[in-house]
Chains A and B, each alone.
Chain A
């Protein structure tokens, strides 16, 4: 079970770039890194996934250093609607026990202020 550590909370202002770092020191060779976003009383929503280096989509970027022991979710120019809990998950997507890659942890509560 690859454990992850994230800050409990972060604050930002509208228009700023937000970087949320997740530590996963015991990440395994086959493990991918996946980030989800959750609004109150809703199910989590997939944001981005990566294995190494940098991944970018229309919503966010994911930076993964060479040792893969951490990853950083970058949200460019946040707005009030980006206020949510962000989860970092690490696990083997290729079968076997699913418990490791489905451990959401407490996530990071991001609050964006006007």
Chain B
């Protein structure tokens, strides 16, 4: 069974750094793109970026380029989403999701349970 297990909730202050994680299990981690998706309070889903663990190719959504860093460690089957300086507006639930590809189509077929990040002074 494919599973994406995310790290637990975080409470941080503005200006602090943070890295949250998403561990894949039940499939070959390196072979599937992993995306990060943000849900701000009371809002919809926003695609942040996507990474291919096989070669660490990363693409960011326009609103997130330069704001976050997406990375992965193939040795531990884990993807990461990182901030160097958090802002209150980063308060949100963050989901990771696996991209299933049946060229030319693709879709997110498995999701993590979400990580709540709260940034408050």
A, B bound:
no
Binding site for A on B (CB under 8 A): none
